[in-house]
């Protein structure tokens, strides 16, 4: 599938896309492309809910003119594999993008995320925040590339990933990359990767909460912070229902 969205100068819109609700196995591929003109703003919300027999290939591409802005919220709560790519061209002066991504990987699921932000115009800005939980034998790879091109002076880019590991056989790969062909720019990246710490486990245990329940609460809490940002009641309820279904599915034996 393919969707092209033109954001005329000064316009403001929200685009909500849900994937996998009616998929019945096989592969589903979809591309979304945005042309964001001067002073325009697009907010993209994508929810992935494929079953265990369905693989989704998702691609998002955008070009942002002067003061153009793209905000992306992606929530991965499907049972099948997901390959996700987002490329943003910050062409005009003060163009910007903000990305919030949340994922729950379970069983033998594969989640592959590749983000590329090209800073081309002066004073452009990007902020990437990724939060996820991996359980069982799930495998996840996150590549985040921030590329400051020649001429992108006074631009800023930041990316952060937080990963909670809740399975002995999980595979996590976090690969942040900052490229720089311009001197007067600011780029940063960071990652927090680990299990539940002893203090957190002690806190739950002191209140009679076992480890499995504690892990579920932490997983749900991380995702809830994100889906409350959707700002659409029907979609939020859909995500809440799907998250409960996936967590129940994860409790079944491999």
Domains of the chain, residue spans: 2-251
Q: Are 88 and 64 in contact (CB under 8 A)?
A: yes
pLDDT of residue 161: 96
Q: Is the pLDDT of residue 253 over 80?
A: no
Whole-number pLDDT of residue 247: 87
Query: Residues 197-214: what's their mean pLDDT?
Result: 79
Confidence of residue 95 (pLDDT cuts 50, 70, 90): very high
Please compute the mean of the pLDDT values over residues 181-209 and round it to a whole number: 86
Question: Which pLDDT belongs to residue 178?
Answer: 97
Residue 183: C-alpha distances to residues 5, 144, 148, 153, 230 (Å): 34, 21, 9, 7, 37
Reading the block at residue 52, the tokens are 């265990």
CA-angle at 225, arms to 223 and 228, nearest 5°: 105
- For residue range 71-90, list pLDDT tens digits in order: 999 999 999 999 999 999 99
* Phi, psi angles (nearest 5°) of residue 113: -120, 130
Condensed to tens digits (0 to 9), the pLDDT of residues 22-62 reads 666 788 999 999 999 999 999 999 999 999 999 999 999 99
pTM: 0.94
Q: State the pLDDT at residue 248.
A: 87
Q: Has residue 229 got a pLDDT over 60?
A: yes
Give the gyration radius of the chain's Cα atoms.
19
Q: Is 67 helix (H, G, I), strand (E, B) or coil?
A: coil
Q: Give the residue, 254 or 58, on which the prediction is more confident.
A: 58
């Amino acid at each position: 599938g393919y969707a092209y969205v033109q954001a005329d100068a000064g316009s403001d819109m929200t685009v909500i896309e849900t994937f996998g609700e009616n998929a019945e196995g096989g592969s589903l591929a979809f591309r979304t492309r945005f042309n964001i003109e001067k002073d325009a703003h697009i907010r993209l919300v994508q929810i992935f809910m494929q079953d265990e027999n369905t693989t989704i290939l998702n691609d998002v591409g955008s070009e942002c003119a002067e003061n153009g802005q793209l905000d992306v919220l992606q929530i991965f709560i499907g049972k099948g594999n997901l390959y996700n790519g987002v490329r943003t061209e910050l062409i005009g002066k003060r163009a910007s993008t903000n990305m919030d991504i949340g994922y729950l990987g379970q069983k033998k699921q594969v989640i592959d995320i590749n983000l590329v932000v090209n800073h081309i115009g002066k004073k452009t800005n990007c902020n990437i925040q990724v939060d996820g939980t991996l359980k069982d034998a799930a495998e996840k790879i996150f590549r985040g590339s921030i590329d400051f091109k020649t001429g992108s002076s006074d631009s800023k880019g930041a990316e952060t990933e937080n990963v909670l590991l809740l399975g002995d056989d999980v595979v996590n790969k976090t690969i942040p990359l900052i490229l720089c062909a311009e001197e007067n720019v600011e780029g940063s990246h960071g990652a927090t990767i680990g299990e539940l710490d002893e203090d957190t486990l002690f806190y739950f245990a002191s209140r009679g909460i076992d480890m499995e329940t504690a892990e579920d609460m932490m997983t749900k809490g991380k995702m809830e912070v994100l889906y409350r940002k959707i700002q659409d009641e029907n979609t939020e309820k859909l995500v809440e229902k799907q998250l409960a279904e996936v967590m129940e599915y994860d409790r079944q034996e491999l």
